[in-house]
């Protein structure tokens, strides 16, 4: 790692892009700005998996509606198929995380409550396609690190009800900025992060102590038979990431050999 950044400052962006593209074919990752079979943008279909239908859970069973306390002031509302307003996003986030979900789940740092991933305007039902007054609904997706579950809750914006809840295992949508930051924190704190810190010092003459010193992107990593040490065999069931860190106003740092298992909070180096 250190050799690449130190010797190729200024050329590392192009070089890393070529190298990363080649690596993606061998180990099945998704690069920033691309979508593969396991990773899709947004969160509506949860990384290539069918999203739970309105009123149904992942097993096809009808999920009961859950009435939540609506905020006193609902704020700005959109109409029809308009994008969700900021007020609507904030409101559905509060409605979707009821006390039961809040107390029974964990985010990426191990704190109470699930890790929020996306909030999107839900697709209309078949019979509502030409109805200008069709209900506006929002799909809110969370990742629960307590048991590695992707949770999708559909909220009716007019009634303030959760009208569908779906849960899926082994589904790994794109990561949130909080997950990238936590992955970088784990790598920086691990002995395997020594090269990353050395490269950062070479590029900036400063010590790397905090993920906020880096611009972070990355990709979900799934285990491939024979392609990683045994400690990473659960990646795919666990939430694992390969980071593509960049020095702010500086070069990319090649960290592709390292995988951070956010579920197990472990760092491992891929076998060459």
DSSP state letter for 175: P
The continuous run of DSSP H or E covering 70 comes out as none
| Residues paired with 266 in a beta bridge | 261
Instruction: List strand residue ranges (DSSP E) for the chain, in order.
Output: 66-67, 115-121, 137-144, 149-156, 161-169, 214-220, 240-247, 258-261, 266-269
For the cut 80, the answer to whether the pLDDT of residue 97 exceeds it is: yes
Specify the 3-state DSSP secondary structure of 9.
coil
- Distance, in Å, from the CA atom of 49 to the CA atom of 41, rounded to the nearest integer, reads 12
- Mean pLDDT (whole number) for 70-83: 68
pTM of the complete model = 0.71
- Distance, in Å, from the CA atom of 87 to the CA atom of 77, rounded to the nearest integer, reads 7
Looking at per-residue confidence, does 252 or 43 come out higher?
Answer: 252
CA 20 to chain centre: 20
pLDDT value of residue 19: 38
- Distance, in Å, from the CA atom of 13 to the CA atom of 9, rounded to the nearest integer, reads 9
Question: At 258, phi and psi to the nearest 5?
Answer: -110, 140
Q: In the numeric block, which tokens belong to residue 27?
A: 């180990």
Angle value at C-alpha 216, between 210 and 218, nearest 5 degrees: 130
Name the least confident of 70-84, 110-124, 129-143: 70-84
SS3 of the chain: helix, strand, coil, percent, to 5: 25, 25, 50
Residues shown for the chain: 272
- Distance, in Å, from the CA atom of 172 to the CA atom of 150, rounded to the nearest integer, reads 8
pLDDT-derived band at 27, boundaries 50, 70, 90: very low
- Distance, in Å, from the CA atom of 243 to the CA atom of 147, rounded to the nearest integer, reads 23
Mind listing the pLDDT tens digit for each residue in 33-46?
333 334 333 333 33
Q: In the numeric block, which tokens belong to residue 160?
A: 């303030």
pLDDT value of residue 189: 98
């Amino acid at each position: 790692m250190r050799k690449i950044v130190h010797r190729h400052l200024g050329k590392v962006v192009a070089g890393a892009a070529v190298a990363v593209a080649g690596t993606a074919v061998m180990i099945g990752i998704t690069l920033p700005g691309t979508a593969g079979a396991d990773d899709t943008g947004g969160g509506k279909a949860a990384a290539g998996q069918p999203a739970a239908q309105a009123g149904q859970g992942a097993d096809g069973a009808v999920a009961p509606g859950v009435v939540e306390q609506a905020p006193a002031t609902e704020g700005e509302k959109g109409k029809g198929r308009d994008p969700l307003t900021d007020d609507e996003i904030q409101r559905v986030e509060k409605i979707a995380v009821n006390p039961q979900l809040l107390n029974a789940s964990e985010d990426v740092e191990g704190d109470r409550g699930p890790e929020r991933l996306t909030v999107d305007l839900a697709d209309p039902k078949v019979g509502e396609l030409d109805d200008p007054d069709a209900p506006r609904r929002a799909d809110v997706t969370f990742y629960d690190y307590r048991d590695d579950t992707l949770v999708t809750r559909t909220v009716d914006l007019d009634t303030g009800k959760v009208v569908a809840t779906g849960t899926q295992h082994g589904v790994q949508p794109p990561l949130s900025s909080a997950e990238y930051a936590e992955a970088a924190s784990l790598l920086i704190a691990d002995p395997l992060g020594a090269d990353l810190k050395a490269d950062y010092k070479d590029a900036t003459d400063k010590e790397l102590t905090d993920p906020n010193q880096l611009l972070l992107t990355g990709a979900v990593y799934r285990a491939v038979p024979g392609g990683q040490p045994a400690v990473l065999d659960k990646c795919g069931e666990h939430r694992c990431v390969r980071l593509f860190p960049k020095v702010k106003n500086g070069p990319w740092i090649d960290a592709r050999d390292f995988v951070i298992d956010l579920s197990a909070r472990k760092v491992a180096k891929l076998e060459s």
